[in-house]
Amino acid sequence: MAYYTSYGAAQGVTGSCHLLEVGYLKILIDCGLFQGRDEELNIEEFEFDPSEIDYVIITHAHLDHIGRLPLLVKRGFQNKIISTRATYEIAKLMLANAAGIIQDSKNPIYDENDVEPTLRHFGTFLEYEESMHLSDDIKISFKNAGHILGSASLKVEFKEDGMTKSAIFSGDLGQHSRIITSHLQPWKEGNYIFLESTYGDRLHEDLRISVNNFKENILNVIQKGGVVLLPSFALERTQEILFLLRQMSEEGLLKDIPVFLDAPLAINVTRVFKNFPQLLNENVQEVISNRIDPFGFDELKTTLLKEESIRINEVAGPKIIVAGSGMCEGGRIKYHLVRYLQDSHNMVMFVGYQVPGTLGRTILESGFKTIKIDDAHINVKADIKVINGFSAHADQKELIDFVKDLKNIFCIYLIHGDDDRLRIFKEKINDELESKVHIVKKKERIYI
Ligand SMILES: [Zn+2]
């Protein structure tokens, strides 16, 4: 007998947490933070007993997939956390950073002291194309999900009444064409498919068009002598931006234009990327084969210390500043925004989705009106640009591609998506495929 229950990211996109009860084992797949409008859910107790969980399997190191691990350990989880080695290396940085923010928040569900005890549970590594037996009857394997460095989709095979059944947990899936991440590896066969459906209702802009727009926008501002602000997520998006800026540097387009990477977490995460060159795609491999740092170039200056960050203000434009956080909710980007948003020579370019309610979204929709950042009233005059095609998530076509060639599907279960989008995606699957489709509800216990 096997049962699946979602305790997070069913009819939602954050707080990923799925319980698989198979044979006598209880396996938790991801244990992420709720973010944005669901943030209040983080203070709720787990609706299962953490001390009864036999394994946690982590698909990737985004906080909405790992961010409640310290709470799980605090609540009594005692066993092993299985992940790729790259996921572990990134998780160390992400959890330490998150703990620093969470302990000062209005819901301090854990603090910095809870990180080290959590990391001790890691150390059981499973890499792409490898398998591991959790018991005589239960085998797990990973393939590359193509989402971020180290991201995996998971297959669980289990025996029941002499028959072998399988469940695939897609994890977050990437696009086929990415700037630096290697491509996802498809599965050939699976009975129950738990499919992330974040962008199940839409198609992304072509990546090449986005890359061209990204570079053109920067060149336009440089010509005006302005400042380019790039609010960026520390994990993956910053490394993509650095890779593109390195290309521009190589093409001689950034001569004497300083580029500041003003984000301590991103600086540290970039170091991890350099330790896993084999996980990056052919574009990056080509650069590495010429003994060139794919994320470094002459114009790049990293500002780890606060004093170094403050001195960026003294450097005259044109200049480029890459800083966190990606949705402008915290981090050093905020004081750069206060300083530079009021000048029409400057530009803020968003290269990631801005959740409603965040400062990033407010700026995006400001329409050159006055906005408030902390206590400052800012008259927005800078150009605001958006690049849509860098998404780390597969779009509708790519999600369909993930399942369309799979053999022996009994049912496709849609998770990780907002209700409206899930309904549109379900209709699309009904139109295009023969498979049964079901939208998973929160806490719905499903027999597989
Ligand atoms: Zn993710």
Q: Which residue has the tokens 């794919």?
A: 294
Is residue 411 helix, strand or coil? Answer: strand
Single residue among 356, 386, 416 that ends a domain in this structure: 386
Centre of ligand 1 to C-alpha 155, Å, is 18
For the record, the structure tokens of 441 come out as 């509800």
Centre of ligand 1 to C-alpha 60, Å, is 7
Count of domains in the chain? 2
Centre of ligand 1 to C-alpha 314, Å, is 36
- Residue 11 reports pLDDT greater than 90: no
- Residue 6 reports pLDDT greater than 80: yes
At 417, is the pLDDT very low, low, confident or very high (cuts 50, 70, 90)? confident
Centre of ligand 1 to C-alpha 32, Å, is 10
pTM of the model: 0.94
Centre of ligand 1 to C-alpha 147, Å, is 7
User: Counting Cβ atoms within 10 Å, is residue 133 exposed (0-12), middle (13-18) or buried (19+)?
Assistant: exposed
Reported as a single tens digit per residue, the pLDDT across 140-199 is 999 999 999 999 999 999 998 889 999 999 999 998 889 999 999 999 999 999 999 999
What whole-number percentage of the chain has pLDDT above 90?
A: 87
The Cα 391–Cα 13 span in angstroms is 15
Q: Are residues 151 and 258 both part of a single domain?
A: no
At 126, is the pLDDT very low, low, confident or very high (cuts 50, 70, 90)? very high
Centre of ligand 1 to C-alpha 13, Å, is 10
The Cα 376–Cα 370 span in angstroms is 10
Nearest residue to 197 via CA among 403, 25, 57: 403
Centre of ligand 1 to C-alpha 55, Å, is 20
Q: Are residues 375 and 424 both part of a single domain?
A: no
One-letter amino acid at 230 equals L
Q: Are residues 18 and 123 both part of a single domain?
A: yes
CATH code at 236?
3.40.50.10890
Find the domain containing 238 and state its range: 207-386
Q: Are residues 168 and 196 both part of a single domain?
A: yes
Residues 6 or more apart in contact with residue 158 via CB below 8 angstroms:
2, 22, 23, 137, 138, 139, 164, 165, 166, 167
Strand partners, 363: none
Q: Are residues 17 and 146 both part of a single domain?
A: yes
The Cα 243–Cα 249 span in angstroms is 10
Q: Are residues 353 and 408 both part of a single domain?
A: no
Residues 6 or more apart in contact with residue 355 via CB below 8 angstroms:
35, 36, 327, 361
Centre of ligand 1 to C-alpha 380, Å, is 31
Reported as a single tens digit per residue, the pLDDT across 86-99 is 999 999 999 999 99
Q: Are residues 193 and 249 both part of a single domain?
A: no
- Residue 211 reports pLDDT greater than 90: yes
15's torsion region: left (phi>0), alpha (psi -120 to 50) or beta? left
Centre of ligand 1 to C-alpha 367, Å, is 30
Centre of ligand 1 to C-alpha 14, Å, is 9
Nearest residue to 175 via CA among 157, 192, 156, 196: 196
Q: Are residues 286 and 323 both part of a single domain?
A: yes
Centre of ligand 1 to C-alpha 149, Å, is 10
Single residue among 337, 361, 386 that ends a domain in this structure: 386
For the record, the structure tokens of 401 come out as 């591609």
- Residue 12 reports pLDDT greater than 90: no
Centre of ligand 1 to C-alpha 282, Å, is 22
The Cα 337–Cα 319 span in angstroms is 14
Q: Compute the average pLDDT of residues 202-230.
A: 96
pLDDT value of residue 35: 84
The Cα 309–Cα 301 span in angstroms is 10
Q: Are residues 142 and 267 both part of a single domain?
A: no
Nearest residue to 191 via CA among 7, 9, 435, 416: 435
The Cα 152–Cα 187 span in angstroms is 12
Q: Are residues 241 and 96 both part of a single domain?
A: no
Centre of ligand 1 to C-alpha 84, Å, is 15
Q: Are residues 168 and 256 both part of a single domain?
A: no
Centre of ligand 1 to C-alpha 66, Å, is 10
CATH code at 151?
3.60.15.10
User: Counting Cβ atoms within 10 Å, is residue 424 exposed (0-12), middle (13-18) or buried (19+)?
Assistant: middle
What whole-number percentage of the chain has pLDDT above 70?
A: 100
Single residue among 362, 386, 410 that ends a domain in this structure: 386
Residue 128: count of CB within 10 angstroms of its CB: 17
- Residue 419 reports pLDDT greater than 90: no
Average pLDDT, rounded, for the chain: 95
Largest CA distance in the chain: 72
Q: Are residues 154 and 230 both part of a single domain?
A: no
Centre of ligand 1 to C-alpha 174, Å, is 9
Q: Which range has the worst mean pLDDT, 222-231, 238-247, 348-357?
A: 348-357
Centre of ligand 1 to C-alpha 107, Å, is 23
Centre of ligand 1 to C-alpha 402, Å, is 17
Q: Compute the average pLDDT of residues 229-252.
A: 97
